[in-house]
Amino acid sequence: MRAEAQAQPNIALIKYWGKRDIEQNLPAVSSLSVTLDSLWTKMAVEFSADLAADELVVNDEQSADMLPRISACLDRVTGEGRMRASVTSECNFPIAAGLASSASAFAALVVAASKAAGFQHDTLSLARLAGAASGSAARSLYGGFVELAADDNDIDLISIADADSWPLHVVVAVTQAGRKPVGSSEAMMRSASSSPFYSSWVEQQASDLATARDAVMEKDFSKLAAVSEHNCLKMHSVMWASRPPIVYWNSATLSCMETIRALQKAGRAVFFTIDAGPQLKAVCLPDEVDTVSSALDACKGVERTMVSGLGAGARLLESR
């Protein structure tokens, strides 16, 4: 009746932005991500007949605001006539700040809940359950380089290359660890309904994805860098042109981008990507990690940097 699981966040290089079906939380576009290793969320789920309501404790504190999404996710995993659950979560990086904490949280949650309730869901079913809670969470069920294909009625996932097949690193520059002002679901809906660039964004996604997939297969860093940065900037352009505009960046985000541009000019193998928050993620080859971290640490407004290699998908830690 109790199980604990761990998952790591993933960072999209080809972004998911926009929903085909709001009710079922199906993405309008396919995406490609890397799963990290040193940032993690652990989730323990215990179902009990003695509980009158679900409970959620995050990093030793009661968390009422996330509870409705957690309960809805548990309903999807086990069916609605379930026992109430006590959910305990531990996370070693800032939550809800555009660092994909919901991806690792829901990926770990579905694995733990499924086991605690005695189900034997396969990985794709677990990914679909996680994706119904947070679109990007589906990708954290898999390790390494992960492709999420948005089909008409559902999503499909595959790990296109292992974490150790191409040991890229990600340096995260935290510029503001607080919660983001607009949640990604609301921002996506606003983009779809008001941004004049939204339809071009959706139309061009298949071609960006194919380019990125080839770059991963060929281990062609410059090709991956060019398509990833362009895809990220297109996503943010869609947001900037929405009404009212959605701007997740701050001045430190821009300083970090300038720093990455300067490193690229100096011949360093590094590129940036930015999600629904002001943090910048620099993707680089292993030899460049120290240079990239020191350069980002020195940027005005950077609170701290975190370094991660690529890692495995969500997995069970223990159950009883």
Residues of this chain that interact with ligand PMV (CB under 6 A) are 12, 15-17, 31, 102, 134-136, 184-185, 275-276
CA 44/CA 83 separation, integer angstroms: 15
CA 68/CA 110 separation, integer angstroms: 15
Nearer Cβ to ligand PMV (14/269): 14
**Nearest distance from residue 1's CB to ligand PMV, in Å?**
29
Structure tokens at 238: 């869609």
**Nearest distance from residue 132's CB to ligand PMV, in Å?**
11
Nearer Cβ to ligand PMV (46/275): 275
**Nearest distance from residue 318's CB to ligand PMV, in Å?**
27
Nearer Cβ to ligand PMV (18/56): 18
Helices (H) and strands (E) in the chain, counts: 8, 16
**Nearest distance from residue 160's CB to ligand PMV, in Å?**
15
**Nearest distance from residue 17's CB to ligand PMV, in Å?**
6
Structure tokens at 286: 């292993």
Task: Report residue 15: phi and psi, to 5°.
Answer: -85, 150
Total Cβ atoms within 10 A of residue 44: 22
Element (H, E) at 242: none
**Nearest distance from residue 6's CB to ligand PMV, in Å?**
19
Nearer Cβ to ligand PMV (134/228): 134
Please list, residue by residue across 202-241, b when 16 or more beta carbons sit within 10 angstroms of its beta carbon and e when fewer do. Answer: beebeebbebbbebbeeeebeebbebbbebbebbbebbbe
**Nearest distance from residue 13's CB to ligand PMV, in Å?**
9
Contact 188, 18 (CB under 8 A): yes
Helix ranges (DSSP H) in the chain: 67-78, 101-116, 123-133, 184-194, 198-218, 221-240, 251-265, 289-297
Nearer Cβ to ligand PMV (185/237): 185
Nearer Cβ to ligand PMV (117/276): 276
Nearer Cβ to ligand PMV (39/116): 39
Give how far the C-alpha of residue 266 lies from the chain's centroid of Cα atoms, to the nearest Å. Answer: 30
